[in-house]
Amino acid sequence: MTIHGRTLRRDRALVMAIVNRTPNSFYDHGATWEAGAAEAAIERAVARGADVVDLGGVPASPGPEVTVAEEIDRVRPTVRWARERFPDLTISIDTYRAEAAAALLDAGADLVNDSWAGWDADILPVTARHGAGYVAAHTGGLTPRTDPVKPVYEDVMGDVVAVTVALADRAVEAGVPPEGILLDPTIDFGKNTVQSLEVLRSLPRLVDTGWPVLLAMSNKGVVGETLDVPLEGRLTGTLAATALAAAQGVAMVRAHQVEETRQTVEMVASVQGHRPPSRAERWT
């Protein structure tokens, strides 16, 4: 996989670390809201094996409005810092607005993680002009920062495949480099828990499209409801699903807990024979 001219290793699923420049993200409740805290989180993520760092300035959930100017002011200094501190790091920006994407790509980002499925029609041309990568997502037609009301699908994974492949094709037509495009089934966006589980067990259908797949399900509600655990108890379920997804061929996993996720995908890759053990000393 090559994103914005940066070729990424593929002996295991890649790890995308989450760093939110928001005061109200669902998982960390603003732990990386301050610039210094965000920079420290990026340092830790890289040290623990992240291949990509994903920076966001607007929560996915409903809440107070964040203007485009506010989003840029939150994220741009961190993109610039990360680009200078880690020249070879692949930097992703979690945004659905073309104006924000343009400013953050100018600042040094490489990948547009558009979690709201091309809601802003200008985001593809902006991505293309910068030669950046793009994540084609599935949200069931939701407006950004809204929750679904009793979502219904005849075949949820069929809808995911059709929508994301069509969006990827639109991205290529707009001039986005195809080697930097990923598909994201977007767990829990426009889906209830039963539907998200169906998507997780049907991931080979999405992988079989030939496009690299990004799985973004770290600590999400599907884990909490499936296991009846609180937010702080979702790591085990997240890693279990991550291991299954990696074995099914997803190319990248978005994660809050970088080291645990990296070890999970490395173990899967080693069992499958794609990655040699870090050391093999016993009785050799």
- Name the residue type at position 252: M
How many structural domains are present in the chain? Answer: 1
Is the pLDDT at 20 greater than 80? The verdict is yes
Is 282 among the domain residues? no
- The residue whose two tokens read 């997803």 is 250
Residue 280 in any domain: the answer is: no
Which carries the bigger pLDDT value, residue 214 or residue 25?
214
**Residue 73 confidence (pLDDT):** 97
**Are residues 95 and 132 in contact, defined by beta-carbon separation less than 8 angstroms?**
no
Residue 24: its pLDDT value, please?
A: 82
**In-domain check, residue 39:** yes
| 129 assigned to some structural domain | yes
Q: Confirm whether 283 is domain-assigned.
A: no
DSSP H helical ranges for the chain: 35-47, 68-85, 98-106, 123-130, 156-174, 193-201, 203-207, 221-227, 235-247, 258-272
- 204 and 248 in contact (C-beta within 8 Å)? yes
For β-strands 6-7 and 2-3, DSSP reports them as antiparallel
Q: Range of 261's domain?
A: 2-272
pLDDT tens digits along 166-204: 999 999 999 999 999 999 999 999 999 999 999 999 999
Q: Is residue 279, in this structure, part of any structural domain at all?
A: no
Give the global pTM.
0.96
State how far the Cα of 154 lies from the Cα of 24, in Å rounded to an integer: 34
What CATH number is attached to the domain comprising 220? 3.20.20.20
Q: CA 104 to CA 111: how far, in whole Å?
A: 10
For the ranges 1-10, 15-24, 173-182, the maximum mean pLDDT occurs at 173-182
Read off the pLDDT band of 284 (50, 70, 90): confident
Give, as one character, the DSSP assignment of residue 149.
S
Assigned domain for 281 exists: no
Query: Could you tell me the strand order of the sheet in which 252-255 lies?
Result: 181-184, 133-137, 111-114, 90-94, 52-56, 14-20, 252-255, 214-216
